[in-house]
């Protein structure tokens, strides 16, 4: 019996030890960069052919766990706890994941606030297409279709290869792609996709040129292609309502060392670039996906009456109050003050009774003051901040507002003087009428 107990304790200890390393590096709101990433591959040779991308992630403090997509040990959750904070799917041809991971598991992973990078190609399986579709991205239904551009293709040694295209149609957002301009075009070879118009959260980051279209390059084009021109998205991102971020592209080759270091010259253009813009584009976009940029946090939400420092249990109508909150942005290594001029606070009860812009000292503090409206009830201070590329902030604090007590009103109200005069005039008139009626002969 003693040996059995010892063996059970030993197994439990081993399980806790195996879990502990993952829990230590899990996502932290106070230090978002220390994160564990699971990388699922079709072929382990991708570790070397895409090593520049993976090494860039490691150099920024990420820990990568490589596995084949069909590995029986694949799992993102253990004992109800997620083992990873990010998932990279470089397994476009995988029909079924190994272990306990499946389509629902990937969607639950994102729904739980974790990040995802998905790269497909012309061999994309139904599993990969379904994951993309659930994220608001629809790949071309023709499994043999790729993006073709006869005028915007990249000049290469392969004569007539118009499926290697060069695009510089980037989204205009410094928070998503960084403040440094991407000078060289991005090389793309793969399948295009469109965005679901019903999904307002998905954004097009890299678009095809007006002359591009999606079709089978080995067959004649008998009917108009379903995807043409700038409606073709090459790379798209999504930020869910829980601030989880997803990047989807139809080109696994875009992340490869070969395209990172390839020179670029677009057809019909004399501009030549020693290296493509792939490395800078992918690096900057991955910083956004993994919350190294555009990640906000709020702290020290305070309110009090003007002239006081303590937060009251409630306010009286027409009180003058002060409101403040501190906002910071993660820079990749530390929290820095977030500076903007569009942060607002609402004093809310069923609808906003007060809506004010917050002033900032450019050191992270946002503040304002206003008068409590002449309406009593249960109000909320609400800060709802939604800006392209930044995590959503939703803050609220409830506070009751009461009317004046009976002994708090002024003894005589100036605006009521006409009524006071009317009352005394009525009494005087009644007195005169009574005197005349009683004593007049």
pLDDT tens digit string along 176-197? Answer: 999 999 989 999 999 999 999 9
Interstrand relation of 320-330 and 365-371 (parallel, antiparallel or unpaired): antiparallel
Q: Could you give the angle at the alpha carbon of 63 between the alpha carbons of 72 and 33, nearest 5°?
A: 130
pLDDT at 272 over 60: yes
Same domain, 375 and 440: no
Q: What is the mean pLDDT of residues 352-367?
A: 93
Same domain, 185 and 239: yes
- Counts for the chain of helices (H) and strands (E), in that order: 9, 26
Domain boundary among 254, 273, 289: 289
Determine, yes or no, domain membership for 317.
Answer: yes
Q: For residue 355, name the pLDDT band (cuts at 50, 70, 90).
A: very high
Q: Tokens 């009494």 — which residue?
A: 427
Determine, yes or no, domain membership for 304.
Answer: yes
pLDDT in tens, 93-104: 999 999 889 999
| DSSP 8-state secondary structure symbol assigned to residue 273 | B
Same domain, 393 and 441: no
Determine, yes or no, domain membership for 64.
Answer: yes
- Domain with residue 376: its CATH number is 2.60.40.1930
Same domain, 145 and 266: yes
Contacts of 152 (CB under 8 A, 6+ apart): 165, 166, 167, 208, 209, 211, 212, 266, 267
Distance of CA 179 to the CA centre of its chain: 18
Determine, yes or no, domain membership for 39.
Answer: yes
Q: How many domains does the chain have?
A: 3
Contacts of 2 (CB under 8 A, 6+ apart): none
- Which pLDDT does position 31 carry in this prediction? 65
- Which pLDDT does position 136 carry in this prediction? 93
- Our CA dihedral for 133, 243, 399, 413, rounded to 10 degrees, sits at -80
Provide, rounded to the nearest whole percent, the portion of the chain with pLDDT above 70.
Answer: 89
Determine, yes or no, domain membership for 12.
Answer: no
Same domain, 229 and 314: no
Determine, yes or no, domain membership for 240.
Answer: yes
Same domain, 173 and 114: yes
Q: For residue 6, name the pLDDT band (cuts at 50, 70, 90).
A: very low
- Which pLDDT does position 22 carry in this prediction? 36
Same domain, 58 and 105: yes
Same domain, 204 and 69: yes
By residue range, what is the domain housing residue 336? 296-402
- Which pLDDT does position 217 carry in this prediction? 82
Q: Tokens 């996906």 — which residue?
A: 289
Same domain, 202 and 65: yes
Do the Cβ atoms of 369 and 323 come closer than 8 Å?
yes
Same domain, 279 and 427: no
Domain boundary among 271, 289, 307: 289
Determine, yes or no, domain membership for 147.
Answer: yes
Q: What is the mean pLDDT of residues 38-59?
A: 94
- Domain with residue 190: its CATH number is 3.40.50.880
Same domain, 320 and 222: no
- Which pLDDT does position 414 carry in this prediction? 79
Determine, yes or no, domain membership for 153.
Answer: yes
Same domain, 348 and 202: no
Other CB atoms closer than 10 Å to residue 402's CB: what's the count?
14
């Amino acid at each position: 019996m003693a040996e059995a107990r010892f063996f059970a304790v030993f197994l439990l200890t081993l399980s806790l030890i195996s879990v502990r390393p993952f829990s230590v590096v899990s996502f932290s709101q106070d230090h978002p960069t220390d994160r564990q990433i699971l990388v699922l591959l079709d072929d382990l040779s991708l570790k070397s052919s895409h090593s520049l991308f993976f090494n860039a992630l490691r150099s920024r403090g990420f820990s990568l766990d490589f596995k084949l997509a069909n590995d029986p040990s694949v799992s993102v959750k253990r004992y109800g706890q997620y083992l990873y904070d990010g998932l990279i799917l470089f397994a476009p041809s995988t029909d079924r994941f190994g272990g306990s991971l499946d389509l629902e598991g990937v969607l639950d992973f994102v729904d739980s606030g974790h990040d995802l990078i998905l790269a497909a190609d012309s061999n994309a399986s139904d599993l990969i297409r379904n994951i993309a579709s659930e994220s608001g991205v629809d790949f071309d239904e023709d499994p043999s279709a790729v993006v073709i551009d006869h005028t915007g293709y990249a000049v290469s040694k392969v004569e007539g290869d118009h499926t290697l295209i060069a695009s510089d149609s980037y989204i205009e957002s410094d928070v998503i792609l960084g403040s440094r301009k991407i000078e060289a075009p991005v090389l793309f070879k793969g399948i295009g996709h469109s965005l679901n118009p019903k999904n307002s959260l998905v954004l097009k980051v890299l678009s095809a040129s007006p002359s591009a279209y999606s079709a089978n390059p080995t067959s004649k084009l008998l009917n108009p292609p379903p995807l043409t021109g700038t409606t073709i998205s090459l790379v798209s991102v999504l930020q869910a309502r829980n601030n989880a971020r997803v990047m989807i592209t139809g080109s696994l080759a875009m992340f490869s060392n070969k395209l990172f270091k390839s020179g670029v010259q677009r057809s019909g253009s004399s501009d030549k670039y020693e290296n493509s813009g792939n490395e800078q584009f992918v690096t900057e976009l991955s910083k956004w996906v993994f919350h190294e940029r555009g990640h906000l946090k709020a702290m020290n939400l305070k309110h009090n009456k003007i002239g006081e420092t303590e937060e009251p249990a409630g306010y009286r109508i027409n009180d003058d109050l002060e409101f403040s909150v501190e906002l910071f942005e993660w820079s990749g290594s530390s929290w820095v003050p977030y500076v903007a001029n569009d942060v607002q606070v609402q004093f809310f009860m069923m609808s906003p009774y007060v809506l004010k812009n917050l002033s900032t000292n450019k050191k992270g503090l946002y503040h304002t003051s206003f008068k409590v409206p002449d309406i009593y009830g249960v109000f909320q201070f609400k800060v709802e901040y939604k800006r392209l590329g930044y995590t959503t902030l939703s803050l609220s604090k409830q506070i009751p507002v009461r009317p004046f007590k009976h002994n708090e009103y002024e003894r005589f109200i100036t605006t009521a003087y006409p009524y006071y005069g009317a009352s005394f005039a009525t009494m005087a008139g009644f007195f005169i009428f009574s005197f005349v009626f009683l004593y007049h002969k």
